[in-house]
Amino acid sequence: MIDDDAVGRYDPAPDPPSVPAAPALVGARERERDRRALPPRAAIRVLPPAISALIAAGEVVERPASVVKELLENAVDAGARRVRVDIRGAGLSMIRVGDDGHGIRAAELWLACQRHATSKLDGADGHRLDGVRTLGFRGEALPSIAAVAELTVVSAPDERGVGWRLTLRDGQVIADEPAPHPRGTTVTVRHLFAGVPARLAAAGRSQTETAQIAQTVRRVALAAPGVGCSFFVDDRQIFQTAGSGDLQTVLTEIHGPALTGALLPLGPVESAEAIVWGVISGPEITRPSRAQVNVVVNGRWAQPRGLLAQVEAAYRPLLPRGRHPVLALAIETAPGRVDVNIHPSKLEVRLLAERMIGTAAAEMIRETLGRHPLPLQLEAASGLAALRFLPSASPGIAESSERYDAGPIVTPGLPPLVLIGQVQARLLLLEGDDGLYLIDQHRAHERILYERLRADRTLATSGSPEPELLADPIVLELQPAQVAGFSRRVDELAALGFDCEIFGGRTFLVRQVPDLPGVCSEAAPDLLRGLGDPDAIAEVLRALAAEDANEAADGEEWQERLLVRLSCRTAVRRGRPLEHPAMRALVDGLGHTAAPAVCPHGSPLLMRVGADLLERQFGWH
Ligand code: ADP
Ligand code: MG
């Protein structure tokens, strides 16, 4: 927004007539009356520089964090190895960014602060924006900042220690003099928005602004991992990166040491003329927001929405609802394959072949998460609260372990666990080296079935399905409105190993279902049978047909839904007492899945009551 006084001369519209209370009544009639009240059209003229600078500033300098972003990007563009950011008063009193980059010559300092003055489009390539390699290119940041604050730039282009200082206030030069400075540039912005009351008021609470600025510094630090960034708020250091060039290191430097050793490397792979690599968290580390989901395209932190959705989809079956991963994905591609000029603050970029690159990234994530399974859900406190043993008369602990194989159950995905028994007919209780483990029997079985069905899908699409012919086909009677939609699913069903055909009218026949061996058929023949129950299959298909009639899902999502529902419907219920061999089979099956801590719906299924928690709760120290 621009200051009313400043525009008054150029926009002679009178104050709008005051309108009676109810805004709903301000209709076409009132608007027409206002329009007629305007004086005749004024002559068109080019705005004076002070006004156009204010207007441009409105786009570039929206809030203190935008100033920090522009200054930091200039430092990175100048080839800095180290950058220090200081703010006071949430950026409104002062923002200072100092770097050791190539500096600005004294003779060019004033020019650098003029609109559309840039050293980054040199004309060699015909001023083409599609070859831009730098973060900035519009030549608008410094003049925009100068339009809404006092701006001081001190810079030296070499190591002689002598630099030049230029200070601009209200468009006037108030200092233009030599000043000591090592090679590099220090830009100080004071009294931001002091002359723009509306913007000042819009700057949120100071904590919010400070958090925004911190977020901005983190993002630039991550996008330029080779630059050492330090960030100070009111002289207190908040974080620092060493400039190691390594994404994993930077991620732990900016998001906290808790991530040390907990991140999994990704790639690099090549896809659609781009190279993609990164680091991701396993499913045991989640955050309540997407604030730590980072994508960097050609050194620029960005939010390619489609790609982000694909990345989240890869995590979806592994993460609890409403939780998000920690990750950094870097994408390098030819500058001509990215449009960086589609957003006023360059937060969004348009990436050619975004979908293909996203698919490659999502595939890598799925693969990596599947290969590194140790995602224990450490919700110890709630786990303990939920554990209430039944009175001894009821079948609390179902089996004594002596009569059965009491050896530890050793699997790739879980620590070695000794089975103690079943609790409340719904939880398996086990002991590991580092505490007690509780497993939700229903969700564990769901996870196992879901992954087997998914594996089957891969088999089926690669052309070697192993279907099971049903003795009696399943007969599905659908509502007339559901028939057309469901007919379109026949191929998707076939890809999953279901042979389904239209029998006529609104009747469908399912003759074959994927052969899903039970978890351990000899151990528990009746129970962990697999996908044998025709009623369950019919029920799930009917429910999906009904949903489809309301809102059709895309093919892959529909298949995913089918698999999740089928495994839920088929899995052993809570409340069912289990024999020892069946419990062992469940734990063993679970330990062979890619994500033994969450069910396919995303709910936790594994809890650990650790020694530390017990010590705390019992006061054993
Ligand atoms: P842009 O970054 O789009 O070129 P700016 O207004 O941000 O526009 O900066 C104008 C010019 O000032 C830049 O092109 C660059 O030559 C110079 N400049 C700004 N900041 C720095 C810095 N920290 N170090 C060296 N040169 C800088
Ligand atoms: Mg710039």
Q: What is the mean pLDDT of residues 577-583?
A: 87
Span 216-236, mean pLDDT? 96
| pLDDT band at residue 37 using 50, 70 and 90 as cut-offs | low
Ion ligand 2 nearby residues (CB, 5 A):
74, 136, 141
Most confident of the ranges 37-51, 66-80, 250-264, 570-584: 66-80
Q: What CA–CA distance (Å, rounded) separates 601 from 565?
A: 9
| Ligand that lies nearest to the alpha carbon of residue 181, given by its number in the listed order | 1
User: What is the position in ligand 1's atom list of the atom closest to the CA of 118?
Assistant: 14
At residue 239, what is the residue type? F
Atom 20 of ligand 1, residue of closest alpha carbon: 74
The protein residue with its alpha carbon nearest to ligand 1, atom 12, reads: 112
Packing angle of the helix pair 354-371, 305-315 (nearest 10 deg):
20
Output the six-digit token pair for 117.
């003055």
Which one-letter DSSP state was computed for residue 286? -
Atom of ligand 1 nearest to the CA of 101: 24
Helices (H) and strands (E) in the chain, counts: 19, 22
Torsion angle of the four alpha carbons 534, 537, 543, 548, in this order, in degrees rounded to the nearest 10? -130
Look at 107 and 396; give whichever has higher pLDDT: 107
* 111 alpha carbon – ligand 1 mean position (Å): 10
* Atom of ligand 1 minimally distant from the CA of 140: 6
CA of 137 relative to ligand 2 center, distance in Å: 7
Please give all residues whose beta carbon lies within 6 A of any atom in ligand 1, as ranges: 70, 74-75, 78, 99, 101-104, 112, 117-120, 136-142, 185
Phi-psi region of 353 (alpha: psi -120 to 50; beta: other; left: phi over 0): left
Indicate if the pLDDT at residue 598 is higher than 80: no
Nearest to 572 by CA among 453, 421, 441, 427: 441
- Please report the pLDDT score of residue 434 as a whole number: 79
Q: Tell me how far the alpha carbon of residue 427 lies from the centroid of ligand 2, in angstroms.
A: 59
Q: Is the pLDDT of residue 273 over 80?
A: yes
Residue among 3, 229, 168, 204 at smallest CA distance from 91: 204
For 165-208, what is each residue's pLDDT tens digit? Answer: 999 998 789 999 999 999 999 999 999 988 877 777 777 678 88
pLDDT at 31: 64
Q: Whose CA is nearest to atom 13 of ligand 1?
A: 118
> Which residues does 528 contact at the CB level (< 8 Å), separation at least 6?
445, 518, 519, 520, 521, 572, 582, 585, 586
pLDDT greater at residue 326 or residue 569: 326
Nearest atom (ligand 1) to Cα of 143: 6
Q: What is the pLDDT of residue 581?
A: 85
Q: Which-ligand-closest: CA of 117?
A: 1
Residue 15: pLDDT above 50?
no
Q: Which ligand is nearest to the CA of 69?
A: 2
Angle, CA 273 vertex, CA 272 and CA 276 arms, to 5°: 80
* 274-283 pLDDT, tens digit each: 999 999 998 7
Which residue out of 118, 145, 187 has the highest number of ligand 1 atoms within 8 Å of its CB and is therefore the one to mutate?
118
Q: What average pLDDT score do residues 515-525 get?
A: 50
Ligand 1 centroid to Cα of residue 93, in Å, is: 22
SS3 content of the chain, % helix, strand, coil (to 5): 35, 25, 40
Q: Which atom of ligand 1 is nearest to the CA of 139?
A: 8
**Cα 117 to ligand 2 centre (Å):** 10
Would you say residue 98 has pLDDT above 80? yes
Which ligand gives the minimal distance to the CA of 155? 1
Ligand 1 closest atom vs CA 103: 25
Quote the ligand 1 centre to 119 CA distance (angstroms): 7
Q: What is the pLDDT of residue 166?
A: 96
- What's the rounded mean pLDDT across residues 155-161? 93
Position with higher pLDDT, 529 vs 396:
529
Looking from the CA of residue 117, the nearest atom of ligand 1 is 10
Question: Which range has the worst mean pLDDT, 26-30, 364-368, 384-388, 522-526?
Answer: 384-388
548: confidence class by pLDDT, cuts 50, 70, 90: confident
The pTM of the full predicted model, rounded to 2 decimals, is 0.64
Tokens 């006529």 belong to: 504
Mutate to test the pocket of ligand 1, among 77, 111, 345 (most ligand atoms within 8 A of CB): 77
> Which ligand is in closest contact with the Cα of 140?
1
Average pLDDT over residues 64-80: 95
Query: How distant, in Å, are the alpha carbons of 63, 156, 188, 258 from that of 83?
Result: 21, 15, 13, 25
Rounded distance, CA 344 to CA 431, Å?
57
Summarize the confidence of residues 280-289 as an average pLDDT.
85
Over the stretch 422-435, which tens digit does the pLDDT of each residue have? 999 999 999 988 78
Strands 236-240 and 228-233: antiparallel
Q: Residue range 282-300: average pLDDT?
A: 89
Distance (Å) from CA 103 to ligand 1 centroid: 9
Ligand 1, pocket-test mutation among 71, 72, 74, 82, most atoms within 8 A of CB? 74
